[in-house]
Amino acid sequence: MDLVLQLLFTGIGIGAVYALVALGFVLIFRATNVVNFAQGEFSMVAAYLMVVFSVDLGWPYWLSFLLSLAGMALLGVIFNLGVYYPLRHRSFLPVIIATIGASILMANSVLAIYGPQPQVLQGWFDTPGIQLGPVYLDSQYLLIIAVTIALVIFNYWFFEHTMLGKKLQATSQDKEMASLLGISVSTMIMLTFIYSAVLGGLAGILVAPVLFVSIQMGSTIALKAFAATIIGGFGDVTGAIIGGLALGVIETFGAAYISVPYKDGFAFLVLILFLVFRPQGIFGERVAEKA
C-alpha cells in the first residue's frame, strides 16, 4: 500500500507536468487547427532563460521568473509571426512541418549557445520535500500539482467569464463568424500563441528543478503531452488535464509492475489503443463529419 501511494504521488506529479504542456497544445489547436510540434521547446527555452537570469546573472528568483515568462510571451509573438502566420492559409501539413523545423531550430540554437551539459536550477522551496507517513512528497511536485489545479480554475474563469476569453473561444470555434462580429482574428491568434508559449514556459520552469535543465527536456515531455492530449480528446481543456494525469499514473505503475525499460512505450501504446478504439478521446466529441 505504501508503495502504491508513493507511485500514485509521483505519477500524478509527472502527469501534472504533461497536463501543463498539453494545455498549451490544446489552446493552439483550438485556435488554429494546428498541432504545434515545438510546444515542448517552449518549456526548454523557458528553463534556460531561468538559468540565464537566476543562475548566470544572479537575479532574484521571482524577478527571473517574471522575466522568463515575459521572454516566453515574446517568443510566442515571434513564433506566430515567423512560423504560423505566413502559412495560415495553407493546409495543416506545411504548418506541422514548419513547427517541426522550428523545434529543431530552437533546440539546437540553445545547444549552440549553452552546450550539451545539463544545468542545475534551484526549486522554489528550500525544503526538498516532506515525509507524510510512508510517502515522501517532493515539494516541487507539490507545487506543480498546485499550479495545475490553479490553472484549471483560472482557465475556466478566463474562458467562460471574461470578454477576452469569450472572444478567444469564438475565434477558435468559427473564425468567419468571429470576424463578422468585429473580433480581430489575427490578434486573437496572436494572443493564443502568447498564452500557450507562457504556459509551456511555466511548465518548463516548474519542472526544471526536478529534471534538470537540458536540451532534450522539452521534446521528451512534449511527446507524452501529445499523447495526453489525444487520450483526453483533442481540443478539450479538461480532457488534456485528465489525459496528462492519467498518462503519468499509467506510466509510473506500468514501470513499477510491468517493465522499466519499456516505460516510454506505455504512453504510445495507450495512445494507439485510444486512436483505434476511441479516437474522440475520453471527453472529446466525435471526429467531426464535415461536408
Residues numbered 94 to 153 that lie near other proteins (CB under 8 A) are: 94, 96-98, 100-113, 115-118, 120, 128-129, 136, 138
Q: Considering the rule CB under 8 A, would residue 7 count as an interface residue with other proteins?
A: yes
Minimum CB separation of residue 22 from other proteins in Å reads 12
**What is the closest distance, in whole angstroms, from the C-beta atom of residue 145 to other proteins in the complex?**
14
Minimum gap (Å) between residue 3 Cβ and other proteins: 6
Question: Smallest gap, in angstroms, from Cβ of residue 76 to other proteins?
Answer: 16
Cβ closer to other proteins: 60 or 279?
279
DSSP track, 189-241: HHHHHHHHHHHHHHHHHHHHHHH-B-TTHHHHHHHHHHHHHHHH-TT-HHHHH
Name the percent of the chain in helix, strand, coil, to the closest 5: 75, 5, 20
Residue closer to other proteins by CB (options 97, 149) is 97
Q: How far apart are CA 204 and CA 119, in angstroms?
A: 13
Of 52-60, 183-191, 194-202, 222-230, the segment contacting other proteins by CB under 8 A is 222-230
Pick the piece of the chain touching other proteins (CB under 8 A) from 56-64, 150-158, 174-182, 225-233: 225-233
270: its cell numbers: 495507450
Of 221, 220, 225, 235, nearest to 281 by C-alpha is 235
The vertex-272 CA angle with 238 and 234, nearest 5°, equals 25
For other proteins, the binding residues in 271-290 under the rule CB under 8 A are 271-272, 275-276, 279, 287, 289
- State which of positions 21-60 bind other proteins (CB under 8 A): 29, 35
Nearest C-alpha neighbor of 231 from the set 204, 195, 268? 268
Least CB distance to other proteins at residue 59 (A): 21
> Which one, 85 or 158, has the nearer CB to other proteins?
85
Query: Which residue is associated with the grid cell 492530449?
Result: 229
Buried b (16+ CB within 10 A) or exposed e, 59-78: eeeeebbebbbebbbebbee
Give the residue with the Cβ less far from other proteins, 106 or 168. Answer: 106
